[in-house]
Amino acid sequence: MKKVFHATLLAASLSLVAMQPANADITIGVDLSLTGPASGLGIPVNTNFALWPDNIAGEKIKFITLDDGSDPAKAQKNAQRLISEDHVDVIIGSSTTTPAIAMGEVAQTGKTLQLAISPAEFPPGKGTWTFDLPQSYDVMAGGIIDHMKKHGVKTFAFIGYSDAYGENWLKALTKLANAAGIKITAAERYARADTSVTAQALKAISTHPDAILIVASGSGAAMPHTTVVDRGFKGKIYQTHSAASQDLIRLGGKAVEGSFIVAGLGVLPEGLPDSHPSKKLAVDFVNAYEKKFGPGSRNQFAANGYDSYLVLSHIVPVALKRAKPGTQEFRTALKDVLETYGSIPVTNGVLNYTKTDHLGFGSNAQMMLTVKNGKFVAAD
């Protein structure tokens, strides 16, 4: 009788839990690299949340923020906690590619929408709940290759990270460079934590390229750049959008003058034509961000983070018509709506996700910058 009583009580308790209304708050799980070698990316993303309103479509927003320490294994554990313990409606992160990919595996298993702040590309059938907010490798590599073609660059050497970010860049560049008749003379790699790339720089320079492309991020992008210049390279030097921050100029000094950086639109939206669909959004964001954090504080990564709000502001009202926050039905609705919504203008371009395209951006989501007198300016 005692066991029957306990079983009956447990069943009644579960029934009461099931009858509880779903939590009306939209719970957003955030995982960023706030410490470790990639903290220069995560910290500015974290600042963007100060510009969010306190609700979306009338539903209050609740943030749960975790630090992955730039470690993919930690990012994976954080994502598991956010989904299985905190029951978040959406996860944002990570700010670094390899951790973002690790989170994507958990997001797919946990059927929770992930808005990746760094490029996270997956093999077919993987990462099906992950949508990228930064531009794809093909979009940004296309901007560099087009600039090289216009300026007579026939050969370039690659110096980049030995992780997923570096390898995906090299893959995209190789495809586009071959199609454009541009030769890659060397592909030198190094770890994010390395404090010297002298050997890689010397090997790259020894192939006598017209240009060198550095694939690094945040403050870490300055060290290989200054090394190449210090070793006497006189050709063009290119950097990727993960280097498009004031850290490159602050740490690189005169060495980065005249270099070229392919960037998202949020770094210099004033350089866009008035007809660009993202110009007003991007200018408004930059003005609000610099009003709060000071002149010159604008940042590619903060803009990527703010774009997650712009995306949610479009899809949440539609998803709310189908289900309440805190339920699997709501999480599924967010994904379904995002795959069928159509064009969503954000600070870095116009996103148009589909069931088969979770990258979203087209070629108008990038611009080429150069450094002049210690400032980013439009290159052309």
pLDDT of 114-139, one tens digit each?
999 998 989 989 999 999 999 999 99
Band the pLDDT of 271: cuts 50, 70, 90. confident
Q: How many CB atoms lie within 10 A of CB 262?
A: 26
Claim to verify: residue 121 and residue 207 sit in the same structural domain: no
146 lies in a domain? Answer: yes
278 lies in a domain? Answer: no
Ramachandran class of 53: left when φ > 0, alpha when ψ lies in -120 to 50, beta otherwise: beta
> Is residue 335 scored above 90 in pLDDT?
yes
CA separation (Å) from 81 to 12, 18, 85, 157, 251? 28, 22, 5, 42, 37
User: Three-state DSSP class for 169?
Assistant: helix
30 lies in a domain? Answer: yes
User: Three-state DSSP class for 51?
Assistant: helix
Claim to verify: residue 118 and residue 232 sit in the same structural domain: no
Per the prediction, the chain carries an average pLDDT of 92
CA distance 284 to 298: 11
| Greatest mean pLDDT range, 39-43, 298-302, 303-307 | 303-307
70 lies in a domain? Answer: yes
Reported pTM: 0.83
Q: What is the pLDDT of residues 137-193, one digit of tens each?
A: 999 999 999 999 999 999 999 999 999 889 999 999 999 999 999 999 999 999 988
Claim to verify: residue 310 and residue 322 sit in the same structural domain: yes
210: domain CATH number? 3.40.50.2300
Claim to verify: residue 222 and residue 147 sit in the same structural domain: yes
Instruction: Give the DSSP letter of residue 272.
Output: S
369 lies in a domain? Answer: no
Share of residues in the chain with pLDDT > 70 (%) = 94
> Is residue 19 scored above 80 in pLDDT?
no
Claim to verify: residue 60 and residue 164 sit in the same structural domain: no
Claim to verify: residue 35 and residue 118 sit in the same structural domain: yes
291 lies in a domain? Answer: no
CA distance 9 to 261: 65
Claim to verify: residue 111 and residue 142 sit in the same structural domain: no
Instruction: Give the DSSP letter of residue 199.
Output: H
Ramachandran class of 70: left when φ > 0, alpha when ψ lies in -120 to 50, beta otherwise: left
65 lies in a domain? Answer: yes
Claim to verify: residue 318 and residue 208 sit in the same structural domain: no
289 lies in a domain? Answer: no
- Which of the residue ranges 6-10, 47-51, 311-315, 372-376 would you say has the lowest mean pLDDT? 6-10
Claim to verify: residue 7 and residue 122 sit in the same structural domain: yes
* Count: domains in the chain: 2
Band the pLDDT of 23: cuts 50, 70, 90. low
Domain with 38, as residue range(s), is 2-135+298-363
Band the pLDDT of 24: cuts 50, 70, 90. low
Tell which of 211, 246, 263 closes a domain: 263
- Which of the residue ranges 4-18, 219-233, 321-335 would you say has the lowest mean pLDDT? 4-18
Band the pLDDT of 219: cuts 50, 70, 90. confident
Claim to verify: residue 174 and residue 236 sit in the same structural domain: yes
**CB-count exposure of residue 17 (10 Å: 0-12, 13-18, 19+):** exposed
- Residue 123 in contact with residue 340, Cβ under 8 Å? no
What contacts 226, CB < 8 A, 6 or more positions away? 251, 252, 253, 255, 256
